[in-house]
Every structure is written in structure tokens, then in C-alpha cells.
Structure 1
């Protein structure tokens, strides 16, 4: 099966390459903002926006006026235009908000370039990128398939990464004839219908004390810079501390992503059918008491990983409607036992007298409902 697969690596550019990267990111941002302004003005005057092809022709003229645009990768500038056109297409389809101007103060800065005539390639322990040439990178795994494009980004921590998108063949996994129901939680990250409970590692909470201390230092340095009449971009102590805080956040993000990847792969590998609730995560995040905990467990990211891995490897994901009373039904006899408060973690069925762990019972009901939906489809 042909799929588009992303490979992410850390790159180690030289000082000269860092300068060119900064220029490419800056020029891509300039092109996006320049044509966004034109697009908005044209829409106000005529009621119609511009098109990608019209902007592309205008970009060619703009390069003759602004010579410095020729110093960077031309495909990166075209990609910036394409991103703008796509953003407007989604906006008019009411899929997202109107595109906004990009700022050089944004935490993450990036640009995208496409592969043409082998301008992107892996050569030993270096990666070849347009205009940059060969860049040293941490080759943690092989890249298989036809390279389509590359996105280079600079994180708030000051580290550089490249994401390679390649079209590659993925082998379907062997059938296991096993099914699993998953109830997502906060105390335990996931409760499986086979009785297992996956620990919620609370990556942010474990780092919270250190994060608070470093963020207080960052606030003090910001105040000191303002007292000295300095711009924060020019305040070296502030920028140094900002990178330190960003590294802590990055470490938490990497730990969480690694955990989600390993768990989702293990579940997809060992089960043909995975039944899971269709959670309203955005709605839950409005609950200020639980928002921090819900954001830390990253349910949405986990479900997304399950979905694309299931598609790759020929497995099935069944989503249960969000209002299904999985915690209120006895998984042994099917009796609807009535609503229970969150404090009740164990209960006994009034009909068949089966004793239940609330979460394991819920995951068994999710599995049963998922199989019912699948069989009735």
C-alpha cells in the first residue's frame, strides 16, 4: 500500500547555513504577508480575492524589484504562496478562520520546499537541501520511498529540524483476530477491555516545578530589560532564558509524543478492531478544573495516531457516539444501572450482582457497542 510517511530529523547547520536558513524563513514570511495584504485589499475593492497563478506571476516581477528574494530557495517562496491560497480556499469553505499575518516573533519559524531533480536527498550522514547544500543531521532511521517535500523549522529552543515527506510502500500487518475497547481517562491514560490500565505519566506535572522556577526567571529578566529600555529581541539574558524554558517544554512534548507513538503502535499491531469513544475534547477543555489535565494527556493526538496507523496497516477503528452511557451499563447482563457520579469508581449491578471497576466496565461496553455497530453496518 502506498502512503505518505513523514520522517523527522534534527539537523546541525553551519553558521553560514544558519544565516541562509534565517533568510529563507524571513523571505517566505515576507512573501506570505505581502500577498496576504494584496489579497485583502483586492477583496475589499472588488469582492473577489486573487488566485495562486496571479500571485505567482506577480512574484516573478517582485523578484526583479527586490533582488534579495533571489538569494533563497525559489520553491520555498512558491510554497508560501500556495499555503496562502490553500488557507483562503479553506476559509471560504468555512473550514478555518481567515489567514493572518505571520510574525517573526512566533515561536516556531519554518518553510517548505519541494523535491525536483533530486534537490532533496539523503547522502550518508548528510541531507541535501536546496540552496543549503549538504547539512549534517542525526540519522536515526532510513528514509524509504520517493521524497516529495521537506519542511525545515527552527524551534523556540534554537534547534533546527527537517521533516521529510516520502511516498512509500507499507506492508499490511498480519491479522490477529483480536478486538479491544479503549476508555480514555485522566487518572489512568487508557483503560483497555482486557483489564489493563495504561499509566498516565503526567509529563507536564512532573516538570511543573522546574518550569515554574524557570518561567519566573524569564519574567524577571523581561522586567529588567524593560527597565533598561531594551527591546526583548535585543536582550541577551532574556533570550537565553527564553531558550532554556523552550527546551523544557520541548522535552515534555518529546516524552509525550514518544509514549503515544509506542502505545498506538502496540495496540494497532496486536488488534484488528479498535473501539474508542468519539470524545468532544474541545468542549471538555472549557472546563477550567480539568483543562490542564486533559491537555497533558493529549487524547486527540493519540486517536489521530491510531487512525492513520490503522489505515496504513489494514486495521479497523470504530468510534462510539460521545453520549453512549458506557459507565452506566452492566457489561455482564446489559442492564442500564443509572447515572453515577465521578466519585464512584466501583459498583455492583443491582440485577446480576456482578462487581465492576467503573473504567474497565466502560471499556468492555465500548468494545461491545463497537462490534455491534460494525456488524450492523
Structure 2
């Protein structure tokens, strides 16, 4: 695996110098300040590359921007609303500009309205660490009582509705506001921030979009962008839904192995691939992560390795972000499947033998606590996770007679 690190640009409290000290091999970044639907210009791309290439004192960092995460897909594209074709054209032009700058791997997602969704961004653990959590009853309290989405109660079991009502009744205004802010946090580092009015408007725009319609719209997007990526020898990799089940009455269509297989078959090109995120997919008990890697590995272009622990084996379920070698995903088995795939690629003579991986999220520990970094992206917590993942990979490689 090629070890990478996500960086949100100059606003990120984890600096290029910090990445260099962590010993990563490459950087994952994006032009988060560019509004969704606009073209990423050659000048903007070059500026981010230059920022990554230099340390605080101006010395070369030895690092380069290697993976784009994310090139955002607009709501207009997802709903095929007004201007969606213009947005696809802008997305495609951004691809061409990224290619001209030497970038080849582009992560994106097709989640309606919200990116990752959590109800708590700093949930305390017995160790004193902090982590992100999705609590189903808290989310129901938001959906039914704070957002007051029509018919929201139908989407939750009776026991969850009852608990949500109890929790909402006990909330003071500050707690209700904090819960809402956590849920509409949106894409980390993005230019867009949603108000409650924005959220209601976006939900209304999805009123005619059924699950079947969203799948068809995704296929229409892929039919236009995947051939361009194929011609450019780029690799597109769709991130799964996070969490991997419907929220806010909206369909979610990248939550299971079957979802991924369907989208890859719809536009059957090597460029049309997968970001395998073990944390997002692991929030469903019926997702077999090592098995998915073995069966879909040929099209896995990017890896997010993290772990979650579910409160129950139901869909949906509450969960929290556990330590990288904790949680309910068998991380050594997953990494073994990744190494098997890399060995197959080497034997086939593929150029993309090493799959870029980043330690996804991480618990806030030690000096991370109170630093005010991007939720889920602490310096020390991710470094701990990276060290653990490196250790597993090194141990497995050694056992196989590889250095």
C-alpha cells in the first residue's frame, strides 16, 4: 500500500511539516475553497501542489499531491436539476486540468445532500480519547423534532421514536443547536456550509428522486465522465455512503457490495472504480470487507482504513469510530486481501500495483484534544492509526517472505 495523508490546505492545523514527520509517502487533498460545480483551474491546482511541496521554512518537503479527495459532484448532477449538464462539463474539465498537472486518482461520492453524518464529533471514550459517533436515537430526535421533516417518524422503529422523543424533551436549546450543527457539518473542509433552511430546500429538491431515479442519474454521470478518465488513464473511485443506509428520507445507493458491482457494470471500464472505505462500509453488519476486497479488488483504486463498532447488528444501527485495530472489521484480514490484490497486479504487469491508502479519521488523543482540527482528522490519532496499519502490513509481508 502507498501510505498517504489527507490535508485540507493552509487552513489545516496539521501542517506539511507534520505530514513529513509522519513519514507518509504522498498527500491526499482537494481545492475545498472552490464552489461545487466550478472548474478547478490549472492555476489553482498548481498553487495547491506548490503548498504541498514546501515546508514552513521553504525547503522542499519531498511530498506531492497524489490523490484528489474529493472532486465534488453537485446536487444538480445528482438530481439532474437545472444546469446539471454544465456542472458535468465543469467536472470533466477539472479532470483534464488535474491530468495535465500529473494527478491520476480522483475520489468522489454520490451521497444526496450530506457527506458523512455524525451526531457527536467528540464522544468521550473510557480511555479519555474522543471520537465521532452516529447515534440513531439522537439522529431521530433531530429528524423528527428539530428538522421536523414531514413523515420522518415513519423511517424509524417504534423503540427509536420513543427514545428520540424522550431525548428531545430533555434537550435545552444549546444541546438542540449543537446536535443540528453536528449533523449538517457537511463535507470536511468544504466551501459549503448548510443552514437548516438550506437543508430543507435541498430535501425539497429531491422530492421526485426515487432510488431508481438516483441510480439512473448516477449512471448518466458515469457514462459521461468515465470514458474521459479512461482516455486520460485516470482512475475514478467512488466513496461509499457514510453511514451506509438511507437518511432524511433520501435514497443512498453506494452502501453494499451489490451497489458497487451494479455501478461498475453500468459503465464497465477500469477507470470506473472504488474507494474502499472500511469505516463507512463497516457500519453495516452485512458488509464483508475482506471479501469485498477479494471480489472487487481489481477496481479498488483508493483505500480508507479505519474501524467502527456498531451497537447492534441491524440496519440502520448506532456506531462509533473505534481504534484502527479495534472495532468489528478484521483489519489484518482486510490488509491481507489488499496485499493479495497488489501481488496479482504485479504479476499482471499493472502500473497501479501500489494502492494508495490513508489512515482514515482517528480518535482525538493527547494534544489532539482541544486543538480544534477538522473533525475526525487529528494529527496524533491518525499517526497512531497509521503506525498500527504499517505494523500489520509489515508483519504480513514478512510472513510472506517480502521486505
TM-score per shorter chain, which class?
under 0.3
Flag the structure with higher strand content: 1
Structure 1 length-normalised TM: 0.24
Structure 2 length-normalised TM: 0.23
> Considering only CA atoms, is the larger Rg found in Structure 1 or Structure 2?
1
